[in-house]
Amino acid sequence: MTRNRVLAGGAVLALFFSLPSAAAAVPGETPRDATPRAEVFFDDFSGDEIDRSKWQVEVTGENFGTVNNEQQAYVDSPETLYIDHDGGTGAENGALAVHPRYKEGFQAPDGGTYDFVSGRIKTEDKFEFTYGSYSARIKLPENATASGLWPAWWSLGTSINEGKPWPECGEVDVMEHVGEPWTSSAIHGPEYNGDTPINTQQNFEGKDPADWHTYRVDWTPEGFTFFVDDTQTYTVSKQEFSDNGWTWVFDDPQYMILNFALGGQYPQGVNGVTEPYPGLPQESVDKVKAGTARYLVDWVKVEQ
């Protein structure tokens, strides 16, 4: 499915996201190896607000453009991005809440009009890394099968701002969820975007998708391995890239992104909804209006 990313300044990059495939490694409990790891980034959202030394907040129409035909504007507001210290959430020291809101007719700084606002943060220019194990403990929306709600946890190559446009910069989707009883992971690069063969779908097998789960990817010079709650869900090696004629573009730094989109091309490609918004049915709009559509992040960690 095509995703269109509009960068600051109005440049448009054609992005593609495939629907999840059935191809994946056989899941299994996979303990960490005995190699000592150093924690090089950690945020448990224990303060009173987002730590701006670690995260940038993106604003639609200011430092970010509309992407993927999503129906929200990203704003820098305590309504959409805040720290929740309610002990009942199950977070250890507080949690980042990414909380879309219904704001009919909201006007972004560039004049664009939206009926929803939401949050998107990134570590670009704050923390960037090459190789490592990056993970986040995440609680999906209360009703995790609300179709068209699109929380995501992913990373993007810094070279996107250094002369390598998408997909040459490389993108790693650690976790995406579009209101179905599964999450997906994918890798995008020069010859493996669009209907990329490097993707998988993870089902929760009787577990509640809306419970706390840890989503992790181990990135090495030799490939990627994805995990949910320390259970391996997918792996792909650099050799497989080579064997299939795909260009490996993952030796440059990446930065991490957390965001919550509403509707747009990827959800619409899954649910086929066109009204009242592309990819976003009325029942999900009602959840946003009621304030129950949010996701929580207990912590984010990078080890090397």
Q: What is the pLDDT of residue 90?
A: 94
Please say whether the beta carbons of 144 and 203 come within 8 A.
no
pTM of the model: 0.88
Position with higher pLDDT, 3 vs 36: 36
| Residue 111, Cβ density class (10 Å: 0-12 exposed, 13-18 middle, ≥19 buried) | exposed
What pLDDT is stored for residue 87 in this prediction?
86
pLDDT at 32 over 70: no
Task: State the Cα–Cα distance between residues 262 and 72, nearest whole angstrom.
Answer: 6
Lowest mean pLDDT among 2-6, 159-163, 223-227, 297-301: 2-6
Question: What distance in Å separates the CA atoms of residue 231 and residue 225, rounded to the nearest whole number?
Answer: 10
According to DSSP, the β-strands at 182-188 and 231-237 are unpaired
For residue 19, pLDDT over 50 is answered with: no
Cα–Cα distance measured from residue 172 to residue 266, given in angstroms and rounded to the nearest whole number: 16
Q: How confident is the model at residue 281 (pLDDT cuts 50, 70, 90)?
A: very high
Between CA 140 and CA 304 the distance in angstroms is 27
Q: What is the DSSP string of 181-217?
A: SEEEEEEE-SSS-SS-SSEEEEE-TTS-TTSEEEEEE
User: Which phi-psi region, left, alpha or beta, contains residue 210 (left: φ > 0; alpha: ψ -120 to 50)?
Assistant: alpha
65 pLDDT tier (thresholds 50, 70, 90): confident
Domains contained in the chain, CATH given: 2-16+33-303 (2.60.120.200)
pLDDT in tens, 87-100: 889 998 999 999 99
Give the model confidence (pLDDT) of 177-200 as tens digits. 999 999 999 999 999 987 689 999
Task: Count CB atoms within 10 A of the CB of residue 84.
Answer: 17
Calculate what percentage of the chain has a pLDDT beyond 70.
88
Does residue 123 register a pLDDT over 90? yes
Percent of the chain scoring above 90 in pLDDT: 77
What is the pLDDT averaged over residues 281-302? 97
φ, ψ at 60 (rounded to 5°): -65, 130
Residue 112 has pLDDT above 50, yes or no: yes
φ/ψ of 88, rounded to 5, equals -75, -10
| Structure confidence at residue 145 as a pLDDT band (50, 70, 90) | confident
